Amino acid sequence: MVPVSLADSFFDLAQRDGNGVWAGAADRLVAAGSDPMHQVWLIHPFLAHPEYRHDTLPRAPLPGSFSRVFAASGLWRVRRGPLSATAAAGNTVAFAVRYGEVDLKAVKVAGTYLGTSGFAADALEAAEGGVGLIHRGATRPLPGYELPLGRPVPFGEFAAQRPERERWTLPPLDQVLDIREVAGGFDLRLRTDGGLDRVTFQIECCFDGPGEWETGDQVTQVANGQTAILKAGYGVFRRGERAIRLGPGGAAHRMWQMRGTEPEPDSFRVLITLQTPVDRVLEIRCGRWSPASGELLATPPPDA
């Protein structure tokens, strides 16, 4: 998807501030877009500011390496040449990484704590080398059960009499996902606090297939719609010359489609299954794949 409708805003800001980078961004959006409905709006800056029709602003290339926190939007964007990554608050896709043609389009966290533990951060906080995503259990409907009234309730009056029922409320469950940029990729540390012990959890990694999935003892051609549980060690998803490795795995349960999670028919899913309390680091590494060694080639540390 190309956000062509932003091109006029980039162009207007570029002209106001003399910013060649923004002008270059506007050019790229227009060149990549194909929806004629959006293109109609692109004439607006030239109508509002006739002087824009004589555009002589020198273009500047978009930066190829950066790490930037957009606090108001709850976003963290990283770009290192062929590697790009996004962390987001308020979204069930907490993190995503693309490395060339390999697209880890979603890293999601979910649990079965009475509908309150599907991770969607309330806040994104900047930290050294990355960000922290915070999911506060108290901001969700508190988990628990409504107790019987002790008398018959006529059909159709259940909702009306619900305020009279006592409630057994469980403690809220907080989650923190700390994401740090490291050489060749990222470390994601997931921690839970509160709630109850032995609640089933999972980390779900959704790749855009098809591709090859390789672990320590097997290689499989995979496609969208398939799911694998990484029980231990590391797995590599490869397409072409590039690959993304993740792990270590975990196999606390075998829920292939955990209740309350989003379906992902257009992804190859890798699950790491856990139980609370959780304190787990997920390593994500990107690089060129070496068939000779069966490993990712070393990549330089991230730019300052």
Residue pair 211/102 in contact (Cβ under 8 Å)? The answer is yes
Q: Average pLDDT per run of 10 along the chain, which is 304 residues long?
A: 86 95 93 72 86 92 93 95 96 97 97 94 96 95 89 89 90 97 97 97 97 94 97 95 96 95 96 98 95 76 52
What top-level class would CATH report for the domain 65-296? mainly beta
Residue 148 DSSP symbol: P
Domain ranges of the chain: 4-53, 65-296
Q: What is the DSSP string of 220-273?
A: EEE-TT-EEE--SS-EEEEETTEEEEEE---BS---SS-TTPPP-TTSEEEEEE
* pLDDT given for residue 304 in this prediction: 41
Exposed, middle or buried: residue 260 (CB in 10 Å: 0-12, 13-18, 19+)?
A: middle
Cβ count within 10 A of residue 254: 10
Backbone torsions φ then ψ of 112, nearest 5 degrees: -110, 40
Residue pair 55/30 in contact (Cβ under 8 Å)? The answer is no
* pLDDT given for residue 3 in this prediction: 84
* pLDDT given for residue 301 in this prediction: 57
* pLDDT given for residue 125 in this prediction: 96
* pLDDT given for residue 300 in this prediction: 57
In the beta sheet, which residues pair with residue 123?
Answer: 134
* pLDDT given for residue 291 in this prediction: 81
Local structure of 25: helix, strand or coil: helix
